[in-house]
Structure 1
Amino acid sequence: MSKDIRIKKGLDIKLVGEAEKTTENAIVSNFYYIRPEDFHSIIPKLVAKEGTRVKAGETLFYNKDMEDMKFVSPVSGEITEIQRGPRRRIDAIKITADKEQFYVDHGKFDMSSDADKLKAHLLASGCWAFIKQRPYDVVAKANSIPKGIFISGYASAPLAADLDYTLAGKEAELQAAVTALSKLTEGSVHVAVGSSNSPLAGLDNVTTHKVSGPHPSGNVGTLINKVDPINKGEVVWTVNAQDLVIIGELLLTGKFNAERIVALAGSSVKKPRYFRTKIGSEVATMVYDNGVDKDGNDRIISGNVLTGKKVAPDGALDYYSNAITVIPEGDDYEFFGWNKPVFDKVSTSRALTFSWLNPKKKYDLNTNTNGEHRAFVVTGSYEEVFPLDIYPMQILKACMYKDLDEMEALGMYEVAPEDFALTEFICVSKQPHQKIIREGLDLMLKEIG
């Protein structure tokens, strides 16, 4: 059964440097990093110590609040460093990979098993980390029962990996994953696709929604809002489409295979294309060996340009990212730039800007915010790019002055920071919308739980 969702509010940001649909094996990374900060709200308790040898899929740490929830190594090798921050916080676990990989055998899962056995299997094997929940946009609580599970198989963000391409040929793993997940919810597994050619379009045990329109039509938050909004006391789960492949392969083979097909994109990349690598690999194995100038003044982003995280040249791929974007660093400023006609930037305003005249033009943008932080200016522009049935300005202000009752009333339970990426992009006040929403969600999690 397919249902169409058409989004009218939003903004497509067309950028130079889209990845060509060719896939190569990335240079094998010598080191892999797992950062507990990727698993928001989880307090890690370390199992593996420095000098310990681990197999791919072997436990590195578990959740302090639920010991059954394991987080595992993406590769086999030796743990060579535990990087710590203030108060001995675990910042990263560095693993020196073996030349030949060895895997923990979790055993092929009996798909006729009940939900409790499936849940225990996912928790023990490390695959539970791929299941997130709303409210709060954190790793799902295993003792909750969601009213639905939502998966977006359509990436509408600028320079995002094309999921129709990266998921091609993985239909068996996708089907195994969604069949298993359907046992964990009282409702349906809702899947958004951009076209009928998507590998997710023909799956059984799911409700398919064909989505169209400008970004953020591909955000899972948009799907939730249009299909089944979250009320107080309700929980939904979300899973990234590529993570379904890892879950499905574990169920079918018993191996935790952390392989990712990653889009290397951006105007600073000479030959943008896709690479086959693994979670936590060094970004340098894809970036500097494939056309990016080592001496260039560029920003490397794990993820897309709107929601991704800046990483150092010796940094690593985030746990949930399937794209690496490299664009020029915007550390130069135009004299009286605010008072000149703008031809080479994207804007929703028509005041001295002309991007609306050529909506198909691709732009070579840098990271410059073209302005400085100031108080909120009421322009009505947020509502033009925000398709959710929520007041964006009001919910941002409620987060800033920490009014929990107002945050609840305005719909805070169903949003995540990525839902405010576009409003942050067009904000004339240069306010950090995603950071404000994240801090608001953390406050609600702490006070309400």
Structure 2
Amino acid sequence: DIKLTGVPNQEIIQAPTPKSVSILPNHFRNVKPKLLVKEGDIVNIGSPLFFDKTKPEVKWASPASGQIRTIQFGARRVVEKIEIAIKDNEKISFPALTKLNLESLDRNKILDIILEANLFTLIRQRPFNKVADPKDTPRDIFISGHNSSPLSVDLQNLIEQERDAFQTGLTLLNKLTEGTVFLTLRSPIQFENVSVQTISGPHPSGNVGIQIHHTKPLKPGEVIWSVNAQHVITLGKLFKTGSYDPAVIVSIGGSGATNPSTVKTITGVNIGLLVEEQNLKEPARLISGDVLTGKTVENADFLGFYDSSVSIINDDVKRPFLGMLSPGSSRTKYSLTKAFLSFGNKAFNFTSSQNGELRAMVPLNAWEDVLPMDIYPNPLYRAILAQDIEEMEKLGIWECDDEDFALCSFACPSKIDVGGVVRDGLDLMEKEG
């Protein structure tokens, strides 16, 4: 594990009510958004904001009730941001379902309800880790109830607190696959309509891709769906209450946080609102997501749709003069060797400095040491650079996602963005069909 200072207190507190929220269409992989609203329109919680041109039945729900304040476009008029000024708490409602009603529903009816509620975007698929296609029937569905990434929310505690809604979500997801719903937890909890398995060990043990690899690996031509544990609760509440609950639990921590905490807020909340209690003094790097896979953001930006943490680290962009000749030993610096052999559970005060720049690749097994998959990352990396699709398939790229290679990027002595290259390879595979 990467032990960081500023671990959040896991007691959940209510965050201040935001004045606006935002959905960021360009954060969704391979989605071509088509707007259903314009600036000035009034929307309710659950109202459709846009749809994917390649899958018109898949729409994105508004996480707030109010007025469309801003629609921001990028190059070629690509929609980058839809900001909603919150005015009230009006929701689009559907008939609530009892347990007996839910058990009587077939797959098509459940899909219709999720699509009509504009919440199918909560379901992602492997390969490619993108919004799933409702026309597909997944081989299996995987849910990770253990978040092993640094400074993350304790999902197991949250699942226990929202047990009824989580069970409802599991029941409906079980009807969407002819295979098995696999739920991976840190310690066992009994649920119906699901295969519960436990996992232990350091990060990336909580990544759903790692769990798929060690449970039932993905083969070419197969499709697996995955759902974030918090989104299972959201789907469960949709069927239990008849409306979309946009609540999300977010951890706020890191070396730059003065009051590391876990808060309850809503999807798409403003980053500045979440960190205003942290009294940031030194130059700080704000990250929507964890420090390994998140995106750098500013106070004026908004939380990513699938993110459940805000990481704050000190922003160090200075390069030490003659750093390679500085006195002392490697004991004064962080390294994988020292982390595993010497410091035990000591927490580190990381900054944004990567201690060097991109350099020649040296195969020292640094990637292999932190990738718990039966995949050879070095040959796969070379095959991707060569755009050798046949070799990429042989080396198992269908099982991969860039988040599973984040530790390889962190450990790489050559400062190579291994995860980014894997993402390029997956994009090429999808483009070539």
Please say if residues 408 and 419 of structure 2, whose CA atoms lie closer than 8 Å, have aligned partners that are also in contact. no
Q: How many residues are treated as equivalent by the alignment?
A: 427
From 275, 278, 295, the equivalent of 1:291 is 278
Q: Deviations over 1:161-208 (max 9, x none)?
A: 111233332011111111101111111101110123xxxx22111111
Q: Distance in 1 between matches of 2:391 and 2:38?
A: 45
| Matching of residues 276-355 of structure 1 within 5 Å | 276-288=264-276, 290-293=277-280, 295-340=281-326, 341-349=329-337
Distance 2:40 2:418 in 1: 41
Tell me which of 45, 50, 53 is aligned to 1:56: 45
Post-superposition CA distance 1:352-408 (Å, at most 9, x none)? x57621211111011111111023211112111111111111112222221111111
Is 1:365 the equivalent of 2:350? yes
For 1:400-419, list aligned pairs within 5 A: 400-419=385-404
Letter aligned with residue 426 of structure 1 = A
Provide the secondary structure at the position in 2 that maps to 1:212: coil
The DSSP-based 3-state class of the residue aligned with 1:225 is helix
Q: Which deviates more, 334-343 or 125-134?
A: 334-343
For residues 94 and 167 of structure 1, what CA distance do their matches in structure 2 show? Answer: 30
| Structure 1 residue 126 displacement after superposition | 2.0
Are positions 1:389 and 2:399 aligned together?
no
Matched AA of 2:392? M
Residue in structure 1 matching 2:359, options 361, 366, 374? 374
Residues of 1 paired with 2:331 and 2:283: CA distance?
23
Alignment of 1:170 onto 2:162: yes
Matched, 1:102 2:90: yes
CA–CA distance in 1 between the matches of 2:319 and 2:205? Answer: 33
**2:14 equivalent among 20, 25, 31:** 25
Q: How does 1:30-429 map to 2 (within 5 A)?
A: 30-98=19-87, 100-109=88-97, 110-111=101-102, 112-196=104-188, 201-288=189-276, 290-293=277-280, 295-340=281-326, 341-349=329-337, 356-429=341-414
* Deviation of 1:344 (Å): 4.6
* Residue 38 of structure 1, CA deviation: 2.4
SS at match of 1:257: coil
Q: What SS does structure 1 have at the residue aligned with 2:336?
A: coil
Whether the 8 Å CA contact 2:185–2:199 is kept in 1: the answer is yes
Contact kept in structure 1, 2:10 and 2:153, CA below 8 Å: no
Aligned match of 1:5: none
Partner Cα separation in structure 2 for residue 106 and residue 57 of structure 1: 11
- Give me the whole-angstrom Cα distance separating, in 1, the residues matched to 2:289 and 2:330: 28
Give, in angstroms, the shift of residue 345 of structure 1: 4.0
Structure 2 residue runs of 5 or longer lacking an equivalent are none
TM-score, L = length of structure 2: 0.96
The 10-residue stretch of structure 1 (431-440 or 315-324) with the greater mean CA deviation from structure 2: 431-440
Residue 77 of structure 1 and its aligned partner are, at CA, apart by 0.4
Instruction: Check 1:81–1:72 CA distance in 2 against 1; reply closer, same or farther (3 A cut).
Output: same
Deviations 1:209-261 (A, max 9, x none): 11011111111111100011111111111111111111110111111111011
Amino acid at match of 2:253: A
- Say which structure is richer in helix: 2
Q: Distance in 1 between matches of 2:339 and 2:345?
A: 12
How many Å apart are 1:264 and its aligned residue? 0.7
Instruction: Could you list the structure 1 runs, at least 4 aligned residues long, displaced by more than 6 angstroms after superposition.
Output: none
Aligned to 1:8: none
1:205 alignment partner AA: N
On the 8 A contact 1:343/1:355 being kept in 2, the answer is no
- Give distance in 1, aligned partners of 2:77 and 2:118: 24
Q: Identify if the C-alpha distance between structure 1 residues 163 and 338 changes in structure 2 by more than 3 Å, giving closer, same or farther.
A: farther
| 2-structure distance, mates of 1:130, 1:354 | 36
Task: Give CA-to-partner distance per residue, 1:143-164, whole Å, 9 cap, x none.
Answer: 1111111111111111111112
CA distance in 1, matches of 2:158, 2:256: 22
Per the TM alignment, residue 106 of structure 1 is displaced from its structure 2 partner at its CA by: 2.4
In the alignment, which residue of structure 2 is the partner of 1:3? none
Task: Give the aligned residue type for 2:152.
Answer: A
TM-score, length basis structure 1: 0.92
Distance of 2:408 and 2:202 partners within structure 1: 14
